[in-house]
Amino acid sequence: MKRMLTAGCVGLVLAWASVSGLATESAAAAATAEGALAGLQETTSTVLDGVFTAAQARRGRRVYTQNCESCHGPELKGGEMAPSIAGSDFIVFWTELPVGTLFERIRVSMPEDGPGRLTDEEYTDVVAYLLDANDYPAGETELPADKTALDMILIVAAE
Ligand code: HEC
């Protein structure tokens, strides 16, 4: 609700900017409002809305088994080689961040013994598996292999 109200205010600022003929000031106001809108777009849905499919999570599980399990363990609980990426450890770290941030973090740094060696689709599938393993609900549409689209989905605590 708070986010909706903020979006409304941004709309008002934009409307004001377009009617007030003051070229430089309105351009600056519009730029600020657009910046605010770009930030707000991150919150169009959350991981509670069913943002991946069960089939995608199963594919991601295979990616995980082959590329991540050796360090993060079969239950994602970590071990001597790597931190836990399950349960409260996952939630505490990732809550209120967009899925795109998690995707990018994994894409640039994991698997630690060969970062970037998977395809974007495989990274997306493994993110779907992480969400599935952390008890978020599956839905009708797959997570897109696209950072910008993933940035619109917010990670929130599981219910
Ligand atoms: C060779 C061991 C190794 C492999 C394989 C590996 N990781 Fe990691 N991972 C680590 C280590 C060590 C860290 C902590 C250091 C760091 O943050 O870079 C980590 C950190 C992470 C984090 C951040 C933890 C957090 O929430 O703070 C995530 C998410 C993650 N790994 C996911 C993955 C995924 C997904 C894969 C498979 C594609 C993978 N890792 C493969 C060793 C590994």
Report how far ligand 1's centroid is from the alpha carbon of 13 (Å).
42
Report how far ligand 1's centroid is from the alpha carbon of 50 (Å).
25
What is the model's pLDDT at position 41? 52
> What is the DSSP secondary structure assignment for residue 144, as one 8-state letter?
P
Residues with Cβ within 6 A of ligand 1? 67-68, 70-72, 81-83, 85, 93, 106, 109-113, 126
Q: What is the residue-level pLDDT of the chain in tens, covering all 159 positions?
A: 444 444 444 444 444 444 444 444 554 444 444 444 444 455 689 999 999 999 999 999 999 999 999 999 999 999 899 999 998 888 888 999 999 999 999 999 999 999 999 999 999 999 999 999 999 999 999 999 999 999 999 999 987
| 60's tokens | 């991601």
List the residue whose alpha carbon is closest to atom 32 of ligand 1: 106
Q: Is residue 124 part of a domain?
A: yes
Tell me: do 120 and 67 sit in the same domain: yes
What is the model's pLDDT at position 11? 43
What is the model's pLDDT at position 150? 96
List the residue whose alpha carbon is closest to atom 36 of ligand 1: 68
What is the model's pLDDT at position 106? 97
Report how far ligand 1's centroid is from the alpha carbon of 156 (Å).
20
What is the model's pLDDT at position 42? 53
Cβ-proximal residues to 3 (8 Å cutoff; 6+ apart), any chain: 40, 43
* pTM listed for this prediction: 0.79
Tell me: do 26 and 99 sit in the same domain: no
**What's the structural domain count of the chain?**
2
> What is the DSSP secondary structure assignment for residue 154, as one 8-state letter?
E
Question: Count of CB atoms within 10 A of residue 28's CB?
Answer: 12
Task: Specify the 3-state DSSP secondary structure of 132.
Answer: helix
CA-CA-CA-CA torsion sign (113, 118, 121, 122):
negative
Please, what is the end-to-end C-alpha distance for the chain in angstroms? 18
Q: Is residue 58 part of a domain?
A: yes
What range does the domain containing 13 cover?
Answer: 2-43
Task: For residue 146, give the CATH number of its domain.
Answer: 1.10.760.10
Cβ-proximal residues to 138 (8 Å cutoff; 6+ apart), any chain: 50, 52, 53, 54, 57, 132
Report how far ligand 1's centroid is from the alpha carbon of 117 (Å).
14
What is the model's pLDDT at position 44? 87
